[in-house]
Structure 1
Amino acid sequence: MLSAAELTLPANATGISERATALGVYQLPIGPEDADKVPSERFEGQITRRTWRADGQSTVLQILAPLRDQLVEQGYEVRLDCAARDCGGFGFRFGIEVVPTPDMMVDISRYHFLSAIRGGEAVSVLVSRAGGAAFIQVISVRPPDTAPAVVKPVVQAQADPVQETTDPGRPVELAKVLEVRGHAVLTDLVFDSGSTRLREGRYGSLAELAAYLAANPQYRLLLVGHTDMVGSQAQNADISQRRAQSVKERLVEAYAADEARIDTAGAGFLAPIASNLNPEGREANRRVEAVLLAN
């Protein structure tokens, strides 16, 4: 049996994350989004999810095309090869599996997706430009008895990059969710255990929010804290308010966001997004959301 895919990434690609599942199911997208559904084919086996960031001005296609060529040379059959609009834009992006931000960033107007199969193996490649850099995601599935996929950045000859304009006001993933849905969960925030204090560190969601506010003076934000149902509503409303305020302070102090255009509120446990009857649901309900408002 042939070994799993070996892909050579651009020399400037820096690994961000790797997630492995010993045995799982991956729904490989094989067609553009249609009627809010993305056609897929089921693959079972060992799943590896990897992401990289590549600085520089290479376009999405300049990064993806060599990876596609490598897969074809290794005997993979391409099942889907589409750019943002042809894939289905927003609907496709949120109908497929994407590693959470900030490990993988997707601008729904600037991404390219590829899926391919070889026997019982499957590979998908997602490339997007966001925030002045390119982000690459590779998800591979292989039967348990095959060698693991190898993806390595090495120095290689590349075509002269085509200059691609980076507009700071152009919405990337989080901003687009805000504009389409009116609100977005800031999924990468981490609070100290039992505290309303936001843990130190850089947060991709806050960087995006600050940049979006700076580029779009017609908007302002409402940060809303949410909790699970442990404790009274009065207690949870206070906790959620203070967590939202903590996020606002970090936006202003660390990301130079306009304080006058950011408000805060605490909803407590009044707006759950999952069941409070299990630990996973309670964890999902403990969150801070950004709500987009007219200025």
Structure 2
Amino acid sequence: MKATSRLAATLLAAAFATAASAADKPVTDVTGATDHPLIKRFTGSWLAGQRISNWDAAQLPGSAELSKADARQYREPINLEGRITRTLYIAPRGKSALEVWRNYEQALTAAGFRKRFACEAKCADLYFAWWKTSEPNKGMTWARGDIETPTGNRYSLTSATSVEDGRMLVGTLGKPGQETHVLLYNSLAANASTGLVATYLEIIEPKSMATGQVTVDPAALQAGLAAEGRVTLTGLFFDTGRTELKTESKPQLDAMAELLKSQPTLKAWIVGHTDNVGAFEANEKLSLARAQAVVAALTAAPYKVDGKRLTAKGLASLAPVAGNGDDTGKAKNRRVELVAQ
């Protein structure tokens, strides 16, 4: 090699090392954020962002397979409610996405993790379907700051996950019936030029919603029937995918029974509705079964409403009251209504 070539190479290496050193300056965790007690971070990683919802809804993929009708939707979505912790980590430079992935996988397995599915190759379609319905699609605005590449380019942490070298793992920890659901996704951070690995961890813990925050007035039910011929029963609660009424539904049932007692000639449809996630046939069965559960509760002790006055129907997603394009609209569409016959 000529002396000038060696000098140029030396200067280039020195410049790269200086840039890398600047990019690798110590970064502190986001203020107030910490590892979830169940799962600690990959050694040397920094916590770039965290969002905790004390009680909310979440949807996870139940398999790596996507809907044949719409490749942007999961074939087996898992709809959950509870305490949700979303955390974003950036691993130290020099670590591969595979190394980070294997370490998380081994730690989870040792903790008794029950894997629902894992995608380790050709996960692009799954990533985009997940991205469409997940927190990363909303920009992860709770992840503040940016990533600097060795050459000085910057990428916002709000879009730190990527499709490049991406892998996903979904499963549960804990006892059956009390499972904590976990989604792990890691990939190159933003893109290959950063030389870093991003890990997104979503943990959904089973937790009962705080109740007693809304009172149910029989007069309000009557007003709704008089105005529109139907009223949404916002005080009825079911676990995700289940048909059993939860105990916190009692105030709503009390109000319905009082309304029916005060109007002995009133006959009504109890109509169940769902959002458009999942197969229509399954949603139709679910919506009908939930309506039947309400009828069963009202016709049993202590209410003992005449069963001839109530008829259960299930309409699945046929009568939405909002768009199904986001979680807010879907939540509004998942409902039970009282409709005057």
Provide the TM-score with structure 2 as the length reference.
Answer: 0.36
Q: When you count strand as a share of all residues, which structure comes out higher?
A: 1
Q: When you count helix as a share of all residues, which structure comes out higher?
A: 2
Higher relative contact order (CA closer than 8 Å, sequence separation 6+): 1
Provide the TM-score with structure 1 as the length reference.
Answer: 0.41
